[in-house]
Amino acid sequence: MSTDYQLVRLNNGICSVRSLADGETFHPVVGPVVEAEALYVKQLRLRERLQNHVGEFVIWDVGLGAAANGLTVLRATRDLACRIRLVSFDHTLAPLKFALQHAVDLGYFGGYENRLQEFIREHQVDFQDGAQTVNWEFHLGDFPAWLGSQKSGRVPAPPHAILFDAYSPARNPAMWTLPLFTDLFQRLDPARPCALTTYSRSTIIRTTLLLAGFYVGVGHATGLKEETTIAANTLELLTEPLDARWLERAFRSDSAEPLREPVYCRSPLASVTAERLRIHPQFAN
């Protein structure tokens, strides 16, 4: 019996997983499936993009956790004739192992339990599900260190979509630094449109994404959050890009300067950072 995780029931009656060591509940307001559908499936327009896509569609799942995001994406698109390569990253499989022990209570594993057992054993599983062909692989370890590696042989295919679900910057600053998002942006294929979504709407995260090279927009509401964030390597994937009014608010914010080291702190924009934002292609017009 795990002493590191526990099952918790949210106010709406849905069960989720809580990490006792980190003091964090996964998908804490609306539950795993509702949050994943709103934040990733709908916001990334995955069904629409898959219907119009030829060949393999690559999704990076940054923060596997208890696998709710990945499973929700697969279940929401299983009726489409598509090939998905789902690449998950995390430093541990412990929450997934715990969640599988409580699959009935959690409710989002239905039909995938055996495939996930193989995934845990082999860090890889291939299967046909409905009209969908799935190749799901797992990279165990420190994501920032892995991403910064120059060993090209370890890098999977560039993604078309990124589910970014790390713990908050205050809890896990190493996952929200400017060097990390710069490395991530450089892994993208400029000829392959790619969008990333995350639950945060903070000025510091949006500034970090912009300085890393992304275009950044306002994301859909989820749970108690009135906004989330979507970023992409092309403006065409954003329906509501951040505008000059947001930029002016960022200039006045007391928490907008990106983290350059894995230490959380709040500070206003440095003058050089503000100038880099001002000339970003998203605002240059």
Per-residue pLDDT of the chain (285 residues; tens, 9 = 90+): 457 999 999 888 899 999 998 888 888 778 889 899 999 999 999 999 999 999 999 999 999 999 999 999 999 999 999 999 999 999 999 999 999 999 999 999 988 999 999 999 999 999 999 899 999 999 999 999 988 875 555 567 899 999 999 988 989 999 999 999 999 999 999 999 999 999 999 999 999 999 999 999 998 877 666 799 999 999 999 999 999 999 999 999 999 999 999 999 999 999 999 999 999 999 976
Query: What is the value of pTM for the model shown?
Result: 0.95
| 191 CB-near residues (< 8 Å, 6+ apart) | none
Q: Which domains does the chain have, with CATH numbers?
A: 27-242 (3.40.50.150)
Contact 121, 113 (CB under 8 A): no
